[in-house]
Structure 1
Amino acid sequence: MARGSIFVGIGGWDYEPWRGTFFPDKWPKAKQLHYVGEHLTATEVNATYYRLQKPETFAKWAEAVPDGFRFAVKASRFCTNRRVLAEAGEAVEKFVGQGLTELGPKLGPILWQFMGTKQFDPDDMRAFIALLPKSHAGVPLRHALEPRHESFADPAFAEMARKAGVAIVYADSKEHPCFDADTAEFRYARLQDAKEKVKTGYPAAALDGFAGQATGWAKDGRDAYLFMINGAKVRAPAAAEALIARL
C-alpha cells in the first residue's frame, strides 16, 4: 500500500512574536498566510472556535495557499463546551454549514476539542459522534476528537470512535493525557511541549521521534496531520520546519 500524505503545520498564521522570527521583518500581515503556505504544509484554524466565518473568507484562505496545503478547522466552542453533548445538533449543523467547504480539497479534518473537565459519558459521547456529518455540500468531512480528561482512556471510547471512523487526537502535552489509538483513516497529533530555549522548539531526538511516528502512521496509506501548538508558541514555525525537513 502506498504511503499516505503527511501534513505539518502550526496554529493559525497571525502571531506577533513570529514577525522577525518566522516572517521576514515588515512582512505584510495580508500575506502571512501566503508565507505559511510556502514554508509549511498545513495550519490549524483557531478563529472558527470563537465565531463563525463567511464563505468568502474560507474561499480567500484557500486561494492564498498552494495545492496540497491543508486547513484543519477547530470546531465552535458552542458545539463542544456544553454539559450535554447530545444536544449540540443545531450548533454542529450551523458550524458545518458556515462555508468551510469553500476550502474544497484543501479542507483537512475538523477538530472537536473538549474541556479538560469533560468526563467520558458513553451514551452522551456516542450520541455526539452520531451528530458529525460524513459530508456537506458534496465535500467529504473528517473528524478528530480531542478529549482532555483521563476518563477517556476507557477502551469503550476508542471502540466507538473506531466504529464511526473518527480520529482521536494524539496530544504531546504535560497538562492533559495522551491517547494513542488508531481509530480512523488518518492520524491527528497536536504537539504542545515546545521549549523557547531550544531554537527548534524540540531537541533533535524528539523531532526524530515525531518524524518516526508520522512515517509509521502514514505507512499503511493513512494521512497524518501534525501541528505544533502552544508550548513556546514563538518556536512553533521553526519546529514545524525542522520536522518537515526530517520527512
Structure 2
Amino acid sequence: MNTINSLRHRSTLLAVAGTVLALSLTACQGDTDGTSASAATSSAAASATSSATGAGNGKDNSASGSPGSADSAGSTGSTGSTGAGGSAGATGSSGEHASASTPVCTARDITVTAARQDGPPYTHLVLTAKNTSRRSCRLAGFPHVQFLESHKQDVPAVAKSKPATPVVITPGAPAYALVKLSDGGVDEDAEPVTAFSITLEGDSTVIAVTAPGSGGIAVDPAKALTGYWTPELRNGADDF
C-alpha cells in the first residue's frame, strides 16, 4: 500500500510540474505583458498545488463581494432631479403671458368723457373711458392730455396714482383718471378751455373731449396734473 501511495504522490507532483512548465512556455510565446502572464502562472500553480496536496477542504476561497459594486454609490447623483422645482417659474411665466395677451385699448375701442369733481371751485376733472368694443382691452399708463394750443406738452402724470396691476376693461366697463386743472385761486394764471385732446399709450390717435359746463373749465397749465387710469374712483386716494 505504501508503494502505491508513493507512486500516486509522485504522479501528482509530475503533473503539477508539467502544468507549470506548459504555462511558462505559453506566457513566453504570448504578448509582452509579463505581469499578466506571471499572475496567470502563479494562479495556476497555486491551484495545482492545492489539488495535489489534497487541500480540497470544502471552503470557498473566492471574495465575498465584488469590489466593483462600490461604484453603485454614484447613482445618488440622481438627486439632481430636484431641479424640477423650476416649474414654478413656468407657472409664473404663464400668468405674465396671459396679461400680455390682452390687447392694448385704442381710440377705436373706447369713448372718453369728462366731468367736474366736487366744486366749486372746480379744480379737478374725472375722465371716464368706456369700452365700447366687443373685446376686453388693457388701458395702459395714463391719458396724455393737452389742454391748450399754446401748451403742446402733455400734462405731467402723478406716479403715486399708478395702480398695482394692469387695468383691463371688459366690453361696456369703464376706467377712470383724475386730472387736476388748477389750485382754484382767483389770482392764478388760468385760461378757459371748452375742449381738449388726449391720446392713449400705444395709440397716437387724438381723441377730442368736450369740457363740462356751459362756459368750459379754467386751466392753469403750470398746475395741471393727471393720474393713471384706474378701474374705479378711489374716493380721494389719488387726490393731488
Q: TM-score, normalised by structure 2?
A: 0.21
More relative contact order, 1 or 2 (CA 8 Å, 6+ apart): 1
Identify the structure with the greater helix proportion: 1
Q: TM-score, normalised by structure 1?
A: 0.20
